[in-house]
Amino acid sequence: MTATDRAIELARAAAAAATDKKAENVLALDVSQQTPLTDIFVLASASNERLVAAIADAVEESLHEMGAKVLAREGKREGRWIVINFAEIYVHVMHEEERVFYDLERLYKDCPVVALDA
């Protein structure tokens, strides 16, 4: 089983919103074969805590307009790594240092990359 069309649509919208707020290294991974929790992880980086928060807010606003609901949000107060659970996708907005340290791309290296251009 692969990611649903809805999950891909949300991932693309999340990536676009993140990019509009100057996120770097935006990537989407189809994790549907690895975890029953969600279909796609969207990863984005920022150079400081304020930008991490601004990107997360922009993603939430964009996906809210598409009818997606936030089920959980973690890390907003610290602003180093914010994870937003939209059920079909999880969006990870990370400070550059956390992104390098935790290296989620390596942990999920067997997962296919989702094309973010429509």
Q: What is the pLDDT of residue 117?
A: 83
Domain ranges of the chain: 5-107
Q: What are the pLDDT digits (tens) for 2-32? A: 999 999 999 999 999 999 999 999 999 999 9
Q: Please name the residue that has the structure tokens 């296919």.
A: 112
- CB distance 48 to 97 below 8 Å: no
Closest alpha carbon to 43 in 100, 2, 3: 100
DSSP letter for each residue of 52-100: HHHHHHHHHHHHHHTT----EEE-TTT-SEEEEE-SSEEEEEEEHHHHH
Q: Which phi and psi angles does 77 have, rounded to 5°?
A: -65, -40
- Any idea which fold 5-107 has? Beta Polymerase; domain 2 (3.30.460)
Q: What percent of the chain has pLDDT over 90?
A: 93
Q: What are the pLDDT digits (tens) for 44-95? A: 999 999 999 999 999 999 999 999 999 999 998 888 999 999 999 999 999 9
Q: What percent of the chain has pLDDT over 70?
A: 98
Q: What is the pLDDT of residue 77?
A: 87
Structure confidence at residue 118 as a pLDDT band (50, 70, 90): low
